[in-house]
Structure 1
Amino acid sequence: MKVLRILAFPISILYALVVHIRNFLFDTGIFKSKEFRTPTICVGNLSAGGTGKTPMIEYLIKMLKTTNEVAVLSRGYGRKSVGYHSTESDLTVEELGDEPFQIHAKYPDILVAVDADRRNGIAIIEKSSNVDVILLDDAFQHRKVKPTFAILLTSYGKMYYNDWYLPTGNLRDSKREAKRANILIVTKCPENLSELEKKNIISDLKPKLNQKVLFSFLHYQQQLMGGPAKPSLTEIKNKKITLVTGIANPKPLVTFLNSEGISFEHMNFSDHHFFSNKEIEHFNTKEFILTTEKDFVRLKGRVENMYYIAITHQFLGDGAEVLAQQINQILKQ
């Protein structure tokens, strides 16, 4: 795989050129970005996957829903449908996409919509629903929409400033586009991240004067979800566990389970993988399936003895207060 990425370097140069030309056309106004009357909060990244966008969207829903009518608009990557769809209709995980379906399952009272054309999606939401704020999932590169507030995520250990363009690296946008973000959040940090390392990371990120840099970590729940028993991690240590993952970066989860003394075999699939009947049959021969919440929504009802480990974003220091203050200030305006 590494050899193929190296051989693809000329393609990455071409990709970088296209990215820079596109951003130039938007920056100069040749291509237009549209603002909407409903406040929009964009959550995105510069790299391809694995920064924790969906848990961050869920964090924002939880923060905002008690005082605001919230909607979520996603592309619905990997779904087997086209155009605009929303949870106002009865949709399957294949039609809505795994991540939007996960959000809908957790927050059924929140409008969750999918549309590759974010302008069209926002326009339909504004016409059909009375919402106070729209969360744009993975829309940092969708420059046809100018968000009210933009949150840029970068994963600790895989910072965008150390990356290169696809397909040699994982960058899908120019590092310079970080200037469009209101807040930069370094996700998946160690819980004991030192102040010195924070300062070094901030120095490498080179934020603008008006940009805040926050640090968060993934909190893994000790009690498993999905099945009727809801055992704790301690209670399953004597079981023969098969970990099934179809996410961009399973490494943090694997590291966490190892730190908990959990032994397992790992069946790793590509991000947004839709499991075949043959794979499902194989899973059902296993004693105990442990998976992620995103994979669980695709496998629910098809695999027995299956549980998932829930995760949430938690901030280091005063990060939660800083984020809430800035977003609430935007919504009041």
Structure 2
Amino acid sequence: MSAAARAVGAVLRDTPAPEPDGTRDPRARRYAQDIIGLHDRLSYRRLPLEFRGAPLSLVEDPHGALVTVTGRDSQFPSRYLKGVLGFRLAQYLRLDWISADAVHRTAAFHEPLPHSPVENIHTVTLCARSGKIRGYVGLSCSADTESLPLDSACRIPFPTEAAHRIDLLARYARPGLGTHQAFEFKRFLRDQTMPRDEQYTRVPWHLMLGIGEALLTLGDGVRVVLGDAKEHVALRHLRLVGFDLHVVEGTSPHLRESDPMAPIYRQTVVAKPFAAPVPADISWYRDVVRSYLDGTSDLASWQAVITTLAAHRGRTGHRPDPARGGTRR
């Protein structure tokens, strides 16, 4: 990480950044603008070299000038993990999906560091030229101290379940499957400052590939995923890479006004809660996406990739789950 990254607590006032609209407090707006500017300046070019141990996935894409690395919390040196969590915070401030007042009040410059019984998983896509983060997606573990059955009345709801007031996991309960094998998708993000070029198009596929390879590496460590997402964004990509999603319609998610994340559920188009088992044939989808990214595929365009993925999904019988409800909490 650059020297600027090591000074991550410093306020950088010389970097123009869009002003968040979600607060009337000018001090909070200025602070949010400073945090956005700070993280715009950071470079993570050396992250793949300073990773602790073998990554769960490493994708090098010379055609798109992108590098994607996936690993557990402990595999990221502390300063890099804080920087990645800072990227998440800055992107949410740009989008007005987090309270600038709360960020200012707590003097936060990154999202909280994880303190979980099982390690979280982070996939980070970097520009190979600048070292800037271009995309991010995470998998967050259960807060249960011990792994509990998915239909246990004692398990702690995942954040998506709590916000939508719904139980997404009981339908997958069976012997030998516990809450420490369920992970929630977090922060499916692409850098908001990116121009809409080939890199922009490739970033979501890098993120899906990184997560897919991590799931293959972890095996039984991750059996079920859940989260909430918008139909035309993450849900589309998840279906294309083989996830047979159970999507629950008609929820009215909200968080307490005191919750820093409350603004995310005040949008016109609200994310839908979903859950899915890890696809048994995820390696097939991985091979199609990886071969296109590394230039060894016979497919000539992204449209051809999408058509191939969708056709395989149709042949293997995957269909979006038509369920329109779930178990309410």
**Structure possessing the higher relative contact order (Cα contacts under 8 Å, 6 or more residues apart):** 1
Give the TM-score range, shorter chain.
under 0.3
TM-score (norm 1): 0.26
TM-score (norm 2): 0.26
